[in-house]
Amino acid sequence: MLYIVILYMVAMLLVGWWAGRVYIKGMTDFLLAGRRLGIVLCAATLAATHFGGGAVMGGGEYGFKYGLSGAWYGVSCGIGLILLGLVTAKKFRDLAFYTVPDYLEKRYGGKTIRALGSLLSIVALIGILAAQVLSARGALGILGITGNTGAIIATLVFIVYTTAGGLWAVTITDLIQMILAAIGVILAANVVLGKTGGFGGMELLLQAKGVGPEYFSIWGMGTASIMWLLLPTVMYTLIGQDFYQRLFAAKSGTTARNASLVGGIVLVIVSFFPAIMGMGANALADLEDASMAVPWILKNLMGPLLGGVILAALLAAIMSTADSLLSAATSHIVKDFWIEIFHVSEVDKEKELLRVSRISTFVIGILSLIIALIVPGIIDALIYSYTMYTAGVFVPVIGGFLWKGATKEGALASLIIGSILALWGIIGGVTLFGAPVEIFAALISLIVFIVVSLFTKKHAS
């Protein structure tokens, strides 16, 4: 197993080095792959951004707990990409932005809304990136690499290849990683089904453990649980910088739209395999901790060769998400703050900005590693910004896209109030009819958006 994982990491480093030498000439090459991504690379990197350690390990855990409906996290990600393709992908790519806050400033005017949106997104991206570092540590722990050594090695690998090759390296490695991750979970699920005697045998084993028929239904988790999983995931996908960066890198608006649709369909399909793995672990093992479903399968059902391939696939899923987060955070630092807010450099100074981009990428990666290993307790606090960003930014972005009457005042008020309500809901544990905090915060943000826009538009006229 160890040699396969080492070979995989070396291959990723070589791809990053090669991409940096061949493709990277300036900032646009580094941040947006020169806006030259075709449908295959673009679809793969969009899918890989979602299909990370959470989708594999979490999908296995949900499959263990809820059965076939445990696939809904990954399916929700796929639906989000499909809606992204249908709603905004083509229009936003045609506008040739670098970041989502680029759109916010162009649509509403002023730097304040750009700064607030960028800051929330950066903090959240760093927090989620730190969580991926811990996922890598857990994955390499299966090999017996305990402590922080595994996390440091895996993190340095994706920092180095992303710093060297920018989004070109990220998209090429994402294609490799998505193929590897998909093959890995499909192989693992088939091994599990072979050990249980197929779906019929698995059903008999689970029924003997007292599992009910809802365990084998795609709706088994319950409509409310599925909706509260689906809506926040779709909302973030429709406004996340890590997704739009890939759309902005596509050759054209049509390519962006089609790649988003293809990536979403791929995600919907592959998301069922981790759930099947979790169901198989439930049938074959007496685990008290559902999160150990995937590690148990790797340790107990796989030989060294197949186990190494699947472990490399798990690492591929983690690193494909991590490099996407790292690249997205860099685009905020360089475009939104360095260029647009602080006016340190102009966009036409491509080579100077390439140096800034590489330094920013390296620093953000190391910062995430330090947070994960030294102060992991603040990761949850940083990820709160993910919820705040979704609650605050969703309405100004999508509302501004759909409604010409929206005003700068309405957008800014809805962003601030939505974000504050989300933070209040997180800290106070407040819910509304069991809905996730970003849902009810976004609903109130929408009301504020409409009312303030109508009021300010009336007074302006």
Domains detected in the chain: 2-386 (1.20.1730.10)
Q: Is the pLDDT of residue 77 over 70?
A: yes
Pairwise pLDDT comparison (141 vs 18), residue with the higher score: 18
User: Which pLDDT does position 145 carry in this prediction?
Assistant: 79
Q: How confident is the model at residue 344 (pLDDT cuts 50, 70, 90)?
A: confident
Instruction: Tell which residue, 435, 439, 433, 438, has the closest CA to residue 422.
Output: 438
User: Which pLDDT does position 461 carry in this prediction?
Assistant: 54
Q: Is the pLDDT of residue 224 over 70?
A: yes
What average pLDDT does range 134-158 have in this prediction?
85
* Percent residues over pLDDT 90 in the chain: 76
pTM of the model: 0.93
User: Which pLDDT does position 435 carry in this prediction?
Assistant: 80
Q: How confident is the model at residue 381 (pLDDT cuts 50, 70, 90)?
A: confident
Residue type, 75: V
Buried-exposed string 196-217: b where 16+ CB fall within 10 A, e elsewhere: beeeeebbebbeeeebeeebbe
Lowest mean pLDDT among 70-79, 349-358, 426-435, 445-454: 426-435
Torsion of CA 240, 246, 250, 256, to 10 degrees: -40
> What is the average pLDDT score of the chain?
92
Q: How confident is the model at residue 460 (pLDDT cuts 50, 70, 90)?
A: low
Q: Is the pLDDT of residue 311 over 60?
A: yes
What average pLDDT does range 311-324 have in this prediction?
90
**Separation in Å, CA 236 to CA 104, 233, 262, 342, 440:** 16, 5, 19, 27, 14
Lowest mean pLDDT among 118-132, 185-199, 302-316: 302-316
User: Which pLDDT does position 135 carry in this prediction?
Assistant: 86
Instruction: Tell which residue, 225, 230, 232, has the closest CA to residue 389.
Output: 232
Distance CA 34, CA 379 (A): 33
* Percent residues over pLDDT 70 in the chain: 99
Q: Is the pLDDT of residue 87 over 80?
A: yes
| Residue with the two structure tokens 């979490």 | 58
Distance CA 412, CA 347 (A): 26
pLDDT digits (tens, 9 = 90+) for 404-457: 999 999 999 999 999 999 999 988 887 777 788 889 999 999 999 999 999 998
Residue type, 445: S
Q: What is the DSSP letter of 302?
A: -
**Helix, strand or coil, per DSSP, at residue 15:** helix
Give the pair of three-digit tokens for residue 128.
């989620």
Instruction: Tell which residue, 309, 312, 281, has the closest CA to residue 294.
Output: 281
Q: How confident is the model at residue 244 (pLDDT cuts 50, 70, 90)?
A: very high
| Residues in a beta bridge with 432 | 435
Lowest mean pLDDT among 48-52, 88-92, 144-148, 386-390: 144-148
User: Which pLDDT does position 151 carry in this prediction?
Assistant: 85
What average pLDDT does range 381-387 have in this prediction?
86
Tell me how long the chain is: 461
